């Protein structure tokens, strides 16, 4: 029976939010195709009722496989078996590194087509069509599959709805792992590296440029990032890194890092293209600059023309208040 | 060196540079650390590659002489990522020398190869008295281009590189030449640049030192502002008895246009330049039609200004943006898309400013030697011709078993290069008096085809006292679609110099405002900035964003110095 | 042991990329360069060789690409590879990720390497995936996003970035490892190495030579059809606030953020 199989990554008793988004997306698409979305969970000693929770996001059934966690190849073995036995037409992955590895390996195993960095999936003529940005996000390309299609989403591409609370039936599947799938052993998983904040993985970035006036300006930005809390970090433009106001690891732009957080708040940044190319895919861009002519106002979603030295302190208070409430 | 009204000359604030000592290495590395080549050509541009091409053509039929050059008969050392990456010109070229050097290729094949864009069949020269009017004038003889070919020197260099490699040359791209090797008064080759140094010159983890490349003959083909050429000129007194060199700066864009341009256009101003002698602005523009191998209609448009000017706010890049607003240009570019931008300085002194072309162990070709006819705005065909003559001179010397290349000097003098440059040797100097006062003198020279005797002098560009004028008031605010700012222009050149690269620009960091403003406006890449809180008058600090640098060379004319950057840095021009 | 490094020639990062209207594919006529991530892979191979813990006898650079791809191989050799292999064939044009991985795997089978290294992504769109495809065909363990490789016994102890932080994974050889740019600082080739590169052995293979089933590669053999390029959805124009009463301005900002569930 045709259908969509979604990989749900889990860690320490919770599902990865990108996976949940993928399950919901698959359920929606399966509905349009007149078929079902199933989920698959692979790991060690996964409780049935954890797996069943995926029903709340739209999974009609959840396959559970006992195998080493945190590695791609055992999942390739698992998904290949389930898809071959059950005839799924598509596999869907939420954004995330493991998904890329699994999806690609699965494509090789099944002789299927795979598309990565997908931002949107539609149904056309009874088939799934995946869209992905190309050429530095300046164009969108559509992928169609001759046979089985493997779709790997971009980070945060699929919305995560609230769970309906529904429970899905769980089917345990025994999978014989390929010999090479056991040749990689996870020694340590999920080590946090304290001081090194991951700019690229942050949900909210508060970035500072020359308009801050001095290196101390970054102290305020750090306060603002802390006020937002969660997965927030401070970033910088090349100009201020050059001036020694902030470390190179936080530099965004053509010669720095490329980011696409949910919120990019730019304070005192003019928005020259060398910087823009590093952050233009951010979901929401807010800019504070005293120069109304600054190029950043041409692509910011919310632009505030004003003195950041007046605005930022008040904003910090307001964010703290809002979060506290 | 203050002029009237406190105007200051950049030349009074020389950069911290010690030429020739910094750029000459007198003690060679031990033999096993050197690389020996037959002929070392510094610069993989039009002239350098023409030299390689010609020499290899001759050696192809003479295996015995070829053997004398050793394992690496010809090495071309080019600092850009590929040959052509740092090359830029108008360009409408007299086909003769190209046909002479590459006889098996037809002009149609030039176009298929992607570096030629059509023969000139129609042309027009306009005066622009205001921003709204264009007056067509009878085409002055130097501007007659019927039968010439519109090309891209950047694309041409890539083609020449291919031919050179097929002919057996080693083209070492991403490699800069930072020093001339001179031993006992003879040029022995060049030292290539280090890689992997940090901001302050400190060796980083992946530091790779340069190498001494020794050669039987060295060709300096560095183009405008050759660092080693400058050092050689000082070391060997090659400029003795010559006029100083002067420079012009050109900023160019290439556009894809909705309808083909039907004619080759030059405009000679005065708008948007000022005609007042006080401003000292001389310049003009070109607009050339291009049809590429895919059949797409393109246009090359550029603004050239003599670096002679006195108003510190003169900016060739912004003048080009301003010029585009003229209805004459709007008609051509509107609805189109900018696909390239670039900037480059060119030597404008002509005949009297050309240095002696040979020294023991080396010779000069192309723009390095100042072989540009700035009246007709032509130098590419001279680059090719000088490459041919240099290749032949070196071949002849190799056959004789001699190192004497002085025959090259005479060959250049007697060739089309010498003849054409001789004819216009005094033509542009009158412009130093300003557009109005100088105009008649220039016209007289053109009319008399250079038959009037005498030698007119040139004044150094950096000796001109600068004042803060009002040229900038006319610059349009960039809209990002038709007019552009400097940073987004630098971006499309593909310039991605690493952030911790050492600073290759030498300027005094604290200079009078007039000098700092001169640099800020002049630099097409926005390298020089003045801090917001700097005082209005007196000395100011200069911020040098050297990673923006597209290596046009203009700074060297006006008080600073462009030194060889790390190989591989800078723009990656493709169609300029 | 033998290390094979997979390299790719990609449009230079500096070049504005566009779709060629004539072919409907990425316009690759502009400047090309060795994929920067692959230079990290070559450097990783060199460091393993120079580290002495593994007896590395040979580093082979392998690429699949048109004629011009030899430049990428020359560069790889100048950076330390001992020889190179160029897989080139008309039949391969238009291959998707899975087909490319298959073709490379067949080429690798001829070499029988102990370790395959490659850059985790390329500048022209592929990301984190070729290594996994190749590994499945070679039936070898694979990891991507690796930023540290140490030798532990005869196996490799790798650190890689993953969803929840850094993982440490021990991998038995033979294996396929895709590396990130944080793993090392690639060396610059010496002039001698650059000039010597062309002399090192370079084998050119067709699909037949490599035992590749032409029906599984190329545009026709690929399972994915890409096309229909269109412009991304136009972004709605932004809102501009001129700050006069900062208290009010900040309220508006909070409301705006709240609307979008950002706060």
Per-residue pLDDT tens digits for B421-473: 999 999 999 999 888 888 889 989 998 988 999 999 999 999 999 999 999 99
Contact (CB<8Å) A100/C128: yes
Q: Is A190 on the interface with C (CB under 8 A)?
A: yes
Give the gap in angstroms from C-alpha B502 to the nearest C-alpha of chain A.
12
Instruction: Give the mean pLDDT of B210-217.
Output: 97
By CA distance, what is A256's nearest residue in B? Answer: B499
Contacts A181 to C, Cβ<8 Å: 141
Please give the structure tokens belonging to residue B485.
Answer: 């700012």
Q: Mean pLDDT over all residues of chain A?
A: 92
Q: Distance between CA atoms of A225 and C255, rounded to whole angstroms?
A: 18
Angle at C24 between CA C21 and CA C30, to 5 degrees: 70
Residue C6 CB contacts under 8 Å (≥ 6 apart), including other chains: C38, C41, C62, C63, C104, C108, C116, C117, C118, C130, C134
Chain A: touching chains (3 or more CB pairs < 8 Å)? B, C
CA-CA distances (angstroms) from residue C179 to A73, A184, B419, B546? Answer: 17, 16, 60, 31
Write phi, then psi, for C40 (nearest 5 degrees): -70, -35
Mutate: best of A91, A106, A107, A179, partner C, most C CBs <10 A: A107
Distance from CA of C162 to the nearest CA of A (A): 6
Domains of chain A are: 3-182 (3.40.50.620), 204-324 (3.40.50.1220)
Which residues are CB-contacts of B201 (< 8 A; sequence separation ≥ 6)?
B502
Please judge whether B72 and C189 are an interchain contact, meaning their C-beta atoms are less than 8 angstroms apart.
Answer: no
Domains of chain C: total: 1
Model pLDDT, residue C229 = 82
Is the CB of B480 inside 8 Å of chain A's CB atoms?
Answer: yes
Q: Which of A129-138, A316-325, B529-538 has the lowest mean pLDDT?
A: A129-138
Structure tokens at B312: 């510190």
Beta-carbon separation of C166 and A76 below 8 A: no
Tens digit of each residue's pLDDT (9 = 90 or more) over B100-155: 999 999 999 999 999 999 999 999 999 999 999 999 999 998 899 999 999 999 99
Q: What is the DSSP string of A267-314?
A: ES----HHHHTTTTT-SEEEEEES-TT-GGGGT-SEEEES-HHHHHHH
Answer whether residue C142 is part of any domain: yes
pLDDT value for C230: 82
Any idea which residue has 């002039």 for tokens?
C191
| C70 membership: H or E segment, kind and range | helix C70-78
- Average pLDDT for B46-55: 98
Band the pLDDT of B274: cuts 50, 70, 90.
Answer: very high
Q: Quick one: which H or E segment has residue B189?
A: strand B186-192
Contact A145, A113 (CB under 8 A): yes
The helix (H) or strand (E) run that includes residue C166 is strand C165-171
Q: What residues in C contact B32, CB-CB < 8 Å?
A: none
Residues B230-268: tens digit of each pLDDT:
999 999 999 999 999 999 999 999 999 999 999 999 999
Chain B contact probe: residue of A273, A291, A295 with most B CBs at under 10 A: A273
Give B-chain residues touching A269 at CB under 8 angstroms. Answer: none
| Residue-by-residue DSSP string for C96-153 | -HHHHHHHHHHHHHHH--SEEEEESB-TTS-BS-HHHHHHHHHT--EEEEEEEEEEET
Query: Which B residues 530-559 touch A at CB under 8 Å?
Result: 545, 547
In which band, very low, low, confident or very high, does the pLDDT at A197 lie, cut at 50, 70 and 90? low
Question: To the nearest whole angstrom, how far is the Cα of C124 from the nearest Cα of chain A?
Answer: 7
Q: Do B211 and C16 touch (CB under 8 A)?
A: no
E strands, B361-518, in order: 362-364, 505-506, 510-512
Cα distances from B357 to residues B189, B272, B364, B385, in angstroms, run: 16, 37, 5, 14
User: What's the gap in Å between the CA of B463 and the closest CA on chain C?
Assistant: 38
Q: For residue B571, which residues of chain C lie inside 8 Å, CB to CB?
A: 14
In this complex, the residue of A113, A134, A284 whose CB is nearest that of residue C98 is A113
Residue B530 has pLDDT above 50, yes or no: yes
CA distance C195 to chain B (A): 7
Residues ≥6 apart with Cβ < 8 Å to B457: B243, B352, B429
Whether the per-residue pLDDT at A136 is higher than 90: the answer is no
**Which of B415, B418, B425 minimizes the C-alpha distance to B446?**
B425
| Chain A contact for B485 (CB, 8 A cutoff) | yes
* Least confident interval from A5-9, A94-98, B250-254: A94-98
Domain assignment of residue C202, given as a range = 2-221
CATH code of C147's domain? 3.40.50.620
CA atoms within 13 A on the CB side of B551: 31
Contact check, Cβ <8 Å, A274/B485: no
Rounded Cα distance between B47 and B62, Å, is: 23
Which residues of chain C does A9 touch, with a Cβ-Cβ cutoff of 8 Å? Answer: 163
Partners of residue A256 in chain C, C-beta under 8 Å? none
- Cα separations in angstroms, B527 against A239, B476, C39: 12, 20, 30
What is the CA C207 to chain-centroid distance, rounded? 21
Please indicate, yes or no, if residue C109 is contained in any of the structural domains. yes
CA distances from C243 to A217, A303, C7, C168 (A): 20, 10, 52, 50
* A178, A181, A297: residue with CB nearest C240: A297
Residue B262 contacts residue B365 (beta carbons within 8 Å): no
> Cα distance from A245 to chain B (closest Cα, Å)?
15
pLDDT over 90 (residue A199): no
Cα distance from N-terminal residue to C-terminal residue, chain C = 55
Backbone φ and ψ of B6, nearest 5°: 70, 10
Contact (CB<8Å) A144/C129: no
C105 within a domain of the structure (yes/no): yes
pLDDT digits (tens, 9 = 90+) for B289-312: 999 988 999 999 999 999 999 999
Mean pLDDT of chain B: 94
**What pLDDT was estimated at residue C28?**
64
DSSP-assigned beta bridge partners for residue C5? C61, C117
Number of residues that make up chain A: 325
How far is the alpha carbon of C132 from chain B, nearest alpha carbon, in Å? 30
> Are C192 and B211 within 8 A, CB to CB?
yes
Distance linking the first and last C-alpha atoms of chain A: 49
Which of A314-318, B15-19, B319-323 is predicted with the least confidence, judged by mean pLDDT?
Answer: B15-19
Question: A293 and B498: CB-CB below 8 Å?
Answer: no
Select from C257, C259, C260 the residue whose CB has the most chain A CBs within 10 Å, as the one to mutate to test that interface.
C257
Using a CB-CB cut-off of 8 Å, the residues of chain C touching A137 are 232
What percentage of chain B reaches a pLDDT higher than 90?
88
C154 occurs within a structural domain: yes
For residue B20, is the peptide bond before it cis, meaning its omega torsion is within 30 degrees of 0? yes
- Per-residue pLDDT of A47-73, as tens digits, reads 999 999 999 999 999 999 999 999 999
For chains A and B, count residue pairs whose Cβ atoms are closer than 8 Å. 31
**Among A96, A104, A147, whose Cβ lies nearest the Cβ of C97?**
A104
Residue to mutate among C11, C12, C98, with most A CBs inside 10 A, is C98
Sequential pLDDT tens for chain C (263 residues): 999 999 999 888 766 666 666 666 666 667 788 999 999 999 999 999 999 899 999 999 999 999 999 999 999 999 999 999 999 999 999 899 999 999 999 999 999 999 999 999 887 666 778 999 999 999 999 999 999 999 998 899 999 988 888 899 999 999 999 999 889 999 999 999 999 998 999 999 999 999 999 999 999 999 999 887 888 877 778 999 999 999 999 999 999 999 998 88
Say if the Cβ atoms of C33 and B81 lie within 8 Å.
yes
CB proximity under 8 Å: A 59-78 to C: 70-73, 76
Which pLDDT does position C27 carry in this prediction? 67
Distance CA B345, CA B322 (A): 20
Which residues of chain A have a CB within 8 Å of the CB of C130?
104
Long-range contacts, stretch A28-34, CB < 8 angstroms, 24+ apart: A28/A58, A29/A4, A29/A92, A29/A121, A29/A123, A29/A128, A30/A3, A30/A4, A30/A58, A30/A60, A32/A123, A33/A2, A33/A4, A33/A123, A33/A126, A33/A128
CB pairs under 8 A between A and C: 260
H/E segment holding residue B220: strand B212-220
Residues A26-46: tens digit of each pLDDT = 999 999 999 999 999 999 999
Share of residues in chain A with pLDDT > 70 (%): 98
C101, part of any domain: yes
Nearest-Å Rg of the Cα atoms of chain A is 22
The chains found to touch B (3+ Cβ pairs under 8 angstroms) are A, C
Q: Residues 507..526 of B with a Cβ closer than 8 Å to A: which?
A: none
Question: Cβ contact (<8 Å) for C242 and A305?
Answer: yes
C166 belongs to a structural domain: yes
Side-chain half-sphere of B64: how many Cα atoms within 13 Å? 3
C99 vs chain A: nearest CA distance in angstroms?
8
Q: For residue C31, what pLDDT is reported? A: 79
Residue B6's pLDDT band (cuts 50, 70, 90): low
| CB of B506 closer than 8 Å to CB of B561 | yes
* Cα–Cα–Cα angle for B299, B302, B303, rounded to 5 degrees: 155
* pLDDT value, residue B1: 44
Q: What is the mean pLDDT of residues B186-194?
A: 97
Confidence grade of residue A159 (pLDDT, cut at 50, 70, 90):
confident
CB distance C19 to C133 below 8 Å: no
Read off the pLDDT band of A191 (50, 70, 90).
Answer: confident
Would C124 be classed as within a structural domain? yes
Rounded Cα distance between A20 and B385, Å, is 69
Question: Mean per-residue pLDDT for A259-276?
Answer: 93
Q: For residue B419, what are the contacts with CB-CB under 8 A and spacing of at least 6?
A: none
* A112 close to A152: Cβ distance less than 8 angstroms: no
Cross-chain Cβ contact C191/B170 below 8 Å: no
Dist CA C104 CA C8 (whole Å): 11
Q: Is pLDDT at A102 greater than 60 in this prediction? A: yes
CA distance B503 to chain A (A): 12
A302/C18 touch (CB, cutoff 8 Å), yes or no: no
Instruction: For residue C178, give the chain A residue with the closest CA.
Output: A101
Tell me the mean pLDDT in the region B220-235: 93
Within B92-185, strands assigned E span 92-93, 116-119, 123-128, 135-137, 149-151, 170-172, 177-183
Return d(Cα C90, Cα A89) in angstroms, integer: 31
Count CB atoms within 10 A of the CB of residue C155.
17
Its sign, for the CA torsion B66, B67, B69, B75, is positive
Q: Which residue of C has its CA nearest to B85?
A: C31
Answer whether residue A195 shows pLDDT above 70.
no
Buried b (16+ CB within 10 A) or exposed e, B123-146: bbbbebeeeeebeeeeebebbebe
Question: What tens digit of pLDDT does each residue of A15-31 get?
Answer: 998 999 999 999 999 99
Is A248's CB within 8 Å of B488's CB?
A: no
Tell me, yes or no, whether C117 lies in a domain. yes
Distance from CA of B155 to the nearest CA of A (A): 23
């Amino acid at each position: 029976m045709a259908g969509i199989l979604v990989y749900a990554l889990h860690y320490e008793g919770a599902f990865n939010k990108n996976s949940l988004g993928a399950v919901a997306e698959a359920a929606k698409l399966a509905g349009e195709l007149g078929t079902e979305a199933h989920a698959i969970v692979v790991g060690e000693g996964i409780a049935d009722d954890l797996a069943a929770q995926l029903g709340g996001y739209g999974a009609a059934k959840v396959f559970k496989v006992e195998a080493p966690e945190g590695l791609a190849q055992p999942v390739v073995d698992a998904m290949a078996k389930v898809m071959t036995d059950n005839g799924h037409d598509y596999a869907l992955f939420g954004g995330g590194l493991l998904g890329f590895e699994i999806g690609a390996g699965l494509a090789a195993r099944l002789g299927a087509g795979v598309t990565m960095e997908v931002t949107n999936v539609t149904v056309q003529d009874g088939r799934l069509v995946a869209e992905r940005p190309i050429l530095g996000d300046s164009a969108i390309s559509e992928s169609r599959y001759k046979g089985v299609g493997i779709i790997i989403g971009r980070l945060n591409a699929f919305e995560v709805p609230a769970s309906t609370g529904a429970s899905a039936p769980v089917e345990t599947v025994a999978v014989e792992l390929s010999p090479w799938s056991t040749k990689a052993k996870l020694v340590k998983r999920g080590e946090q590296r304290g001081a090194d904040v991951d700019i690229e993985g942050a949900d909210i970035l508060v970035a500072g440029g020359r308009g801050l006036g001095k290196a101390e300006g970054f102290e305020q930005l750090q306060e603002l990032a802390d006020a937002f809390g969660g997965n927030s970090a401070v970033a910088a433009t090349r100009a201020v890194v050059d001036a020694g106001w902030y470390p190179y690891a936080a530099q965004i732009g053509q010669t720095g890092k490329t980011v696409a957080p949910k919120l990019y708040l730019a304070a005192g940044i003019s928005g020259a293209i060398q910087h823009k190319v590093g952050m233009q895919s951010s979901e929401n861009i807010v800019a504070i600059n005293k120069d109304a002519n600054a190029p950043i106002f041409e692509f910011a979603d919310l632009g505030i023309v004003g003195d950041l030295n007046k605005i930022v302190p008040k904003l910090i208070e307001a964010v703290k208040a809002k979060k506290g409430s | 060196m203050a002029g009237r009204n406190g105007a200051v000359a950049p030349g009074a604030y020389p950069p911290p540079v010690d030429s020739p000592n910094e750029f000459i290495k007198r003690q060679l590395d031990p033999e096993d650390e050197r690389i020996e080549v037959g002929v070392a050509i510094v610069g993989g541009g039009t002239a350098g590659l023409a030299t390689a091409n010609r020499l290899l053509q001759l050696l192809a039929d003479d295996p015995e002489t070829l053997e004398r050059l050793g394992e690496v008969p010809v090495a071309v050392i080019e600092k850009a990522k590929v040959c052509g990456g740092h090359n830029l010109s108008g360009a409408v070229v007299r086909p003769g020398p190209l046909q002479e050097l590459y006889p098996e290729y037809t002009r149609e094949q030039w176009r298929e190869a992607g570096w030629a864009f059509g023969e000139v069949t129609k042309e027009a020269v306009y005066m622009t008295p205001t921003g709204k009017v264009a007056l067509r004038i009878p085409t002055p003889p130097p501007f007659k281009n019927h039968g010439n070919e519109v090309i891209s020197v950047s694309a041409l260099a890539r083609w020449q590189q291919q031919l050179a490699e097929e002919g057996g040359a080693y083209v070492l791209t991403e490699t800069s030449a930072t020093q001339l090797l001179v031993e006992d008064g003879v040029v022995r080759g060049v030292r290539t640049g280090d890689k992997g140094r940090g901001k302050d010159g400190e060796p980083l983890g992946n530091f790779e030192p340069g190498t001494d490349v020794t050669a039987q003959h060295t060709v300096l083909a560095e183009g405008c502002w050759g660092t080693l050429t400058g050092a050689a000129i000082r070391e060997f007194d090659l400029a003795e008895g010559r006029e100083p060199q002067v420079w012009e700066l050109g900023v160019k864009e290439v556009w894809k246009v909705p309808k083909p341009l039907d004619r080759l256009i030059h405009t000679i101003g005065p708008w948007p330049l000022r005609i007042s002698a006080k401003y000292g602005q001389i310049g003009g523009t070109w607009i050339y039609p291009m049809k590429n191998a895919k059949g797409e209609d393109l246009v090359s448009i550029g603004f050239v200004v003599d670096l002679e000017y006195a108003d510190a706010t003169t900016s060739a890049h912004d003048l080009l943006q301003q010029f585009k607003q003229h209805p004459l240009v709007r008609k051509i570019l509107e609805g189109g898309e900018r696909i390239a931008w670039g900037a480059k300085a060119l030597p404008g002194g002509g005949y009297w400013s050309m240095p002696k072309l040979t020294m023991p162990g080396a010779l000069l070709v192309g723009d390095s030697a100042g072989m540009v006819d700035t009246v007709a705005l032509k130098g590419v065909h001279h680059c090719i011709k000088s490459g041919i003559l240099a290749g032949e001179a070196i071949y002849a010397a190799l056959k004789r078993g001699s190192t004497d290349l002085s025959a090259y000097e005479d060959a250049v003098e007697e060739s089309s290069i010498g003849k054409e440059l001789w004819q216009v040797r005094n033509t542009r100097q009158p412009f130093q008096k300003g557009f109005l006062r100088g105009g008649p003198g220039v016209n007289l020279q053109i009319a008399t085809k250079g038959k009037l005797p005498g030698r007119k002098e040139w004044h150094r560009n950096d000796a001109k006292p600068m004042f803060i004028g009002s040229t900038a008031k006319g610059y349009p605010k960039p809209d990002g679609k038709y007019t552009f700012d400097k940073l987004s222009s630098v971006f499309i050149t593909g310039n991605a110099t690493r952030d911790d690269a050492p600073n290759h620009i030498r300027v005094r960091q604290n200079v009078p405002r007039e000098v700092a403003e001169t640099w800020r406006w002049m630099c097409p890449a926005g390298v020089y900035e003045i801090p917001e809180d700097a005082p209005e008058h007196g000395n100011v600090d200069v911020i040098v964003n050297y990673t923006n640098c597209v290596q046009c060379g203009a700074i060297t004319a006006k008080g600073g110095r462009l030194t060889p950057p790390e190989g591989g840095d800078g723009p990656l021009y493709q169609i300029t | 042991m033998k290390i094979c490094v997979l390299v790719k020639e990609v449009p230079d990062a500096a070049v504005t990329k566009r779709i060629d209207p004539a072919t409907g594919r990425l316009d690759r006529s502009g400047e090309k360069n060795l994929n920067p991530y692959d230079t990290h892979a070559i450097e990783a191979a060199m460091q393993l060789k120079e580290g002495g813990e593994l007896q590395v006898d040979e580093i082979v650079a392998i690429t699949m690409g048109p004629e011009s791809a030899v430049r990428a191989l020359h560069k790889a050799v100048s950076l330390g590879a001992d020889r190179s292999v160029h897989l080139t064939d008309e039949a391969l044009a238009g291959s998707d990720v899975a087909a490319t991985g298959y073709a490379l795997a067949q080429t690798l089978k001829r070499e029988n390497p102990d370790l395959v290294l490659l850059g985790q992504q390329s500048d022209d769109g592929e990301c984190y995936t070729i290594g996994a495809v190749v590994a499945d065909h070679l039936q070898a363990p694979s990891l991507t996003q690796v930023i540290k490789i140490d030798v532990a016994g005869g196996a490799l102890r790798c650190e890689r970035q993953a969803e929840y932080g850094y993982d440490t994974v021990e991998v038995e050889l033979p294996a396929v490892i895709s590396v990130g740019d944080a793993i090392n600082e690639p060396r610059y080739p010496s002039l001698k190495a650059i000039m010597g590169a062309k002399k090192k052995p370079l084998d050119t293979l067709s699909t037949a030579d490599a035992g590749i089933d032409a029906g599984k590669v190329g545009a026709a053999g690929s399972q994915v059809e890409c096309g229909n390029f269109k412009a991304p959805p136009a972004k709605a124009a932004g809102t501009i606030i001129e700050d006069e009463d900062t208290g009010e301005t900040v309220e508006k900002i909070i409301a705006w953020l709240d609307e979008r569930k950002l706060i």
